[in-house]
A and B are shown apart, each in its own frame.
Chain A
Amino acid sequence: MSAHVEVRAGTYHDSVTLMLASQQVADLPGVRSAMVAMATPLNLEVYERLGFDLAAVATASPNDLVLAVEADDEGSLAAAVSALEVQLTAKAAPSGGAAADAVQPHTLAAALRDGRGTLALISVAGRFAFVEAMDALQAGVSVMLFSDNVSVEQEVLLKDEAARRDLLVMGPDCGTAVVGGVGLGFANSVRLGSVGIVAASGTGAQQVSCLLDAAGVGMSAVLGVGGRDLSAAVGGRSTLAAMKMLDEHAGTDFVVVVSKPPNEAVAEQVLAAAEKMSTPTLVGFVGRGREDLTALSNRALSMLGGNVEPPQEWLVPDRQPQPGFIRGLFSGGTLCDEAMAIAAEALGPIASNTPLEPDWALPADLHDATHLMIDFGDDQLTQGRPHPMIDQTLRLERIAEESKDPDCAVLLLDVVIGHGSHPDPAAELAPAIVAAREQAAADGRDLAVVVCLVGAAGDPQGLERTATALNAAGASVHLSNAAAARVAISLVEGNTR
């Protein structure tokens, strides 16, 4: 056993440095105890308790430094003493400038504290969304609430809070919005203009705004309100607020309101509000037995005095009806609903995971030997995986499967491009369509593929480029979802189970 005791007169280190040094040296192999401290009476008591010789430090004053190390052998002792020396003379490492980096905010409250933010976009799981949305409203900021599974009670609370503060809650379950020329969520780069859209349906709003865009009409804003806004419980709170905002907005000359047929009392309120607006307003309740989104868009265009022409199509020549059924594979809920409504009128029951009538529900395996349309964006199918507008895996698998099914005559697909969507859906879909048609041809079938393409010319994926690629793969491509559905129907009409 060896010990080293040393007194350094007039050497000062702060106590934290010394405690740190003592601790690190005491942890070295072979070291029994170590102490480096100013020679205060208190520290000398500790020194004595550790078993060091008091006589060795008899002359030390509180302004002197005491170094004391006891180790198993000379080697460990020497290593410990030199390590202590290193500890005491070490220069601080450069920090890398971390101090300047502000802490990233953990909540919307913190993110909005400095007053820079003007809008909040929330896409956390629904049960966590309420407090974040409340943060934004209390900071005086409107909210786009992409999250679904927010309770109706919370939705009403949020919308009432927004009303008190003259703010807007877009959502919950709001997929798209365009504010100040910036697309939020799944949104298209539509041209700027003076038409304001209020929509209770994300893909519905995308379809209408893209059809207007294609006809040369620009948008001042697209304000989503969430699919439940026009229910009796929510009472159209956000729809009415958004209509008022657009009515007061100098840059908006025409307003389109799009929704599935709402609760009757709420519908009356919305229509009455539209009557009173100083801005011309078209209210379109679309759905089964009512006008479709394309017809609504055309009505808007004619009210605006524009040229109403059929939306653009990229056709496949000489396509003949085939025996078999339509298999509709959708990513947009409203587009799926609309295609089913149109097809049901012509073909009768359409089986689906989101059926128009309860009797038409698909079995859990999503297969049936009939006309069927699947909404891959439905909550049940998006749990634990990204939305099909982003991740096409499930649809691609189903396309390959349908290509081998002799019952499948027509594949009807929607492709929604724009911000937030897959960066190049055609790059995956075109080869899948080619492969599917080849597979069917090998089995002696002529598999028709019909695509509804929702997008604007300015979208990052390229509207023309996407359409051309899909068309070259053998699909007919239609900017109108209704038109795509009708083409699909025409290829199977008369075929029943």
Chain B
Amino acid sequence: MSRLDLDEAPVVATVGAAMFADAITAQAAHVIAVDWKPPAAGVEESLATVTADPRFADANAEAVGRLSAARAHWLDVRPAAEVLGLQRGEFLHAGPPVDWANACGPLRGALIGAMIYEGLVDDVAAAEKLGASGGINLAPCHSRGAVGPMAGVVSASMPMSVLADPQTGKQGYCTLNEGLGKVLRFGAYAPEVIQRLRWLQDVLAPSLATVLQRHGPVDVSSLIAQALQMGDECHNRNRAATSLLLRDLTGDLIESGLPTARIAEVFNFISGNDHFFLNLAMPAGKVAADAARDVPGSSLIVAMSRNGTEFGIQLSGTGDEWFNAPAPEVDGLYLSGFGPADANPDLGDSTITETMGIGGMAMAAAPAIVRFVGGEPTEALRRTQEMYEITMTEHPMFQIPALNFRGTPTGLDAVMVARTGVVPAVNTGIAGKEPGIGQVGAGLVTPPMSVFTDAVRGLAARVQRAA
């Protein structure tokens, strides 16, 4: 039996000429009018190719199903050399691939700091020389199962949080958050920055490993879900999640057998750093996004990231190929004494949060920081609601109270971005553009449209080759 009902007045979804919608309304029938505009110029053929692929609908369902079903537990803290096999002289960084010559100021600054930290060089001049001479190996964090905030620099000795999906065992990695102010991830490399890195390595990492061993795996996905209902969106605001995490760990920290002074040190460090949890939310996103990789025909975005020079994305259906464009400026609020002229273009892997369905996608959950996007809480609600236009599903676990506990918009679809011109909402920090400065503000990024249209073209080319 046909699914076209010939007996009841239809509810007609209309796209195109308004007069036809009006004519239906005039007949007392219901209309759902689409606010349509043409897709980005020149992409319509690729859109048709991709959506005509017989695998398309199932591929996207499969990919986003894996993304939204993934869960992440925090298991351990281990050196990058051990969990990623990083060698001395090998460095990971945020965003798509980039070399020293094209690296932005903060990334160079972070690499300089990491070279000093690893003992490869004694001073800044030597580090710059080594970097410029091609004496270090660079690779994106994303290519090694890791993610890094801002510059995202990872070197062999750095402690990494190890997260894994309890069902599949697939792992994701991220450094420990250094706190605010002058920190490596914003490109600072002063002696106190290196000193803090050593403290992370020598004090915090082994303490956390001990506590985690005692506590057992920490359910990071569950903490995200709770924090979203407490005013975090887990990208630019992690205050609730960090508090929840600390509450969860404190008993085991106290009973860990560590010296009281060290317990206090660890407690105060996490307690004094609202963004400590960001470095757990991010690898949780990496675990989810990597689970969705390599589904042929799928237009799901599995990586969205910036190295401060370029903004790039990867799709599930296009393998390891990056689709890049110059990194945009961040429209934001600046710390006193800084302004747009001091800002580096968009930087960091932290957009993995938006990729998994939180961060800017869940802005409606975080009214306390909506003024970063230049608006009132109502604007945040609108933004999140608009994100449902370009996502494939609603997250089964992450919910937004203000939207009647609707699941967060999850599974960014490059096809829908290209069709609607609506780009993902991204919240982010702003790094100073000169090496060594650190954070100068925070705000909202408008991702460059061309990466999404290029990705759709790239997917269309693969679809045609497969046909």
Contact = CB atoms under 8 A, between A and B. Distances in A.
Interface in B374-389: 376-379, 381-382, 385-386, 388-389
B36 interface: yes
Interface stretch (B1-9, B90-98, B144-152, B208-216): B1-9
Contacts of B385: 102-103
A49 B335 CA distance: 12
B264 interface: no
B6 A220 contact: yes
A130 B52 CA distance: 9
Contacts of A179: 4-6, 10
A442 interface: no
A317 to B, nearest CB: 37
A16 B13 contact: no
Interface of A: 14, 16-17, 19-20, 22-23, 26, 33-37, 42-43, 45-47, 49-50, 92-93, 95-99, 101-113, 116-125, 127-128, 130-132, 134, 136, 138, 140-142, 146-147, 154, 157, 165-168, 179-185, 187, 189, 196, 220-221, 241, 244-246, 248-249, 251-252, 390, 419-420, 460
Contact of A112 (B2, B13, B38): B13
Given A121-B20, A124-B36, A167-B3, A419 B372 contact: no
Contacts of B26: 419, 460
B23 to A, nearest CB: 4
Given A42-B181, A134-B52, A181-B9, A14 B368 contact: yes
B57 interface: yes
Contacts of B32: 105, 111-112, 116-117
Interface stretch (B109-117, B310-318, B415-423): B415-423
Interface residues of B, number: 70
Contact of A106 (B6, B10, B37, B45): B37
Contacts of B259: none
A147 B12 CA distance: 16
B269 interface: no
A106 B389 contact: yes
A154 B336 contact: no
B17 interface: yes
A2 B259 CA distance: 52
A128 B46 CA distance: 11
Interface majority SS (helix, strand, loop, mixed), chain B: mixed
B466 interface: no
A371 B24 CA distance: 39
B36 A107 contact: yes
A254 to B, nearest CB: 14
A263 B52 CA distance: 26
B27 A182 contact: yes
Interface in B42-77: 44-45, 47-48, 51-52, 57
A34 B5 contact: no
B34 A116 contact: no
Given A127-B44, A251-B7, A46 B335 contact: yes
Given A22-B336, A179-B6, A106 B420 contact: yes
B403 to A, nearest CB: 9
Interface string B191-218: 0000000000000000000000000000
A146 B24 CA distance: 14
A116 B11 contact: yes
Given A124-B15, A140-B3, 18 more contacts: A19-B333, A23-B333, A23-B334, A35-B336, A102-B385, A105-B32, A107-B36, A107-B420, A110-B388, A121-B24, A131-B44, A131-B48, A146-B20, A180-B8, A182-B12, A184-B24, A189-B27, A390-B19
Given A98-B378, A128-B44, A165 B3 contact: yes
B126 interface: no
Given A102-B385, A106-B419, A130-B51, A119 B13 contact: yes
